[in-house]
Amino acid sequence: MNILGIETSCDETAAALVRDGHQVLSNVVFSQIPLHVKYGGVVPEIASRAHVEKIGEVIKEAIVDKIDAVAVTWGPGLSPALIVGLNAAKGLAKALGVELIAVNHIEAHLHTPFLDSSLLPEEAMPALALAVSGGHTTWIDMPRYTQYHIIGQTLDDAAGEAFDKAAKLLDLGYPGGPKIDKIAKEYLARPDYKRSDLISFPKGRAREGVSSLSGLSADLCVSFSGLKTALLRYVQQSGGAKKLSDDGEIPRIVTSYQEAIIEALCDRTARALKKRDYRSLIVGGGVSLNSRLRDSLQRVADRANVKLLTALPKYCGDNAAMIAALAYYRRNRSGQEAMSLDVNPSLEAGE
Ligand code: AMP
Ligand code: MG
């Protein structure tokens, strides 16, 4: 069964054709990053216009074979951006006379390790899943495939957001994650690198009272607001970002900051893995591209004796292959009902 996926939840206009939930026949992604760079973040109005301009072209390029169903992201995401994809998907499904399947974007990120892979999702269960992206940092217990229980999350910024905000403060450009990853990688590879040289930033501890408001236990939650404030204070005390040298101070600060985020993510993951006898650890979302995070999570998985499942780099960021692939396993949500579907910008994982 060939499913055409459409994704426009944020700043990527994407369409892809996927066979039977695994085999990617086409994967077209138009990134709007250059349009948003000067604002240091995604501007919803600009994103929406760019989706309208590109969606036709992107879908056309993705149609490389017959289409048996159309799948689309209906949330979470930016409302004016989601609407463009949903309307295009409705029109296409209607014109072709095929079913329309609505897919949750976060859930789709968790399907990415199964793209271009013969591993069946059910074979990976029970799994602990970690969604780490620009908008989410969430730990999810998956007893069976497509069953989700959120057991931990960030209480404020998502990990990707924490990377992006630090990069903005240090004037490193947008998006910050890849830039910080690269600078830290070079710093950690220096022959004179010593762990004791790193700045001791707060490690994302969540306050007990705040996490209990969301019904989650603090030991499986993170909070990056203290880390962000500590960075700001450190930069101010050093006389501002412009005073910091590109070859000395910036790499040391950036590496220390990244280590604090990664330590927080790995610590909560290790704790969560102890709660149940898991078979695998699934990690999806843009931040899972981070090389240091991947290595660290591999060690966490090895220690817990579970298999780490991550996506190929081309499927880590937003794409439509993950939408089309998950839709294959979510066909029961299709039909007429989906034709009257509205976008749901604040959709929770699993909805
Ligand atoms: P997504 O929300 O899934 O589209 O992912 C985008 C987010 O991933 C942004 O916040 C990026 O800064 C972040 N990101 C992308 N590549 C990396 C990387 N190598 N290291 C850390 N964060 C990254
Ligand atoms: Mg995403």
Span 72-95, pLDDT tens digits:
999 889 999 999 999 999 999 999
Cα separation values, 153 from 41, 101, 136, 217, 316, Å: 22, 27, 8, 10, 19
pLDDT score, position 297: 98
Cα–Cα distance measured from residue 76 to residue 108, given in angstroms and rounded to the nearest whole number: 11
Going from the Cα of 131 to the center of ligand 1, the distance in angstroms, rounded, reads 11
For 114-125, what is each residue's pLDDT tens digit? 999 999 999 999
pLDDT score, position 248: 81
Cα–Cα distance measured from residue 92 to residue 60, given in angstroms and rounded to the nearest whole number: 11
For 249-259, what is each residue's pLDDT tens digit? 999 999 999 99
Give the type of residue at 42: V
Q: Which residues of 58-93 are buried (b: 16+ CB within 10 A; e: fewer)?
A: bbeebbeeebebbbbbbbbbbbbbbbbbbbbbbebb
Which residues, at least 6 apart from 30, have a Cβ–Cβ distance to it below 8 Å?
12, 13, 14, 54, 57, 58
Q: Is 101 in the pocket of ligand 1 (CB under 6 A)?
A: no
Q: Is 175 in the pocket of ligand 1 (CB under 6 A)?
A: yes
pLDDT at 246 over 70: yes
Cα–Cα distance measured from residue 345 to residue 114, given in angstroms and rounded to the nearest whole number: 26
Going from the Cα of 157 to the center of ligand 2, the distance in angstroms, rounded, reads 15
Q: Is 176 in the pocket of ligand 1 (CB under 6 A)?
A: yes
Cα–Cα distance measured from residue 220 to residue 182, given in angstroms and rounded to the nearest whole number: 28
Instruction: Report the percent of the chain where pLDDT is more than 70.
Output: 93
Determine which residue's CA is closest to atom 21 belonging to ligand 1.
Answer: 177
CB 143 within 8 A of CB 275: no
Mean pLDDT in residue range 117-144 = 95
Going from the Cα of 192 to the center of ligand 2, the distance in angstroms, rounded, reads 37
Q: How confident is the model at residue 336 (pLDDT cuts 50, 70, 90)?
A: very low
Q: The tokens of 138 are what?
A: 């969430």
Average pLDDT, the chain: 92
Going from the Cα of 249 to the center of ligand 2, the distance in angstroms, rounded, reads 31
Q: How confident is the model at residue 347 (pLDDT cuts 50, 70, 90)?
A: low
**Ligand 1: which of 180, 287, 323 to mutate, most ligand atoms within 8 Å of CB?**
287
pLDDT at 341 over 80: no
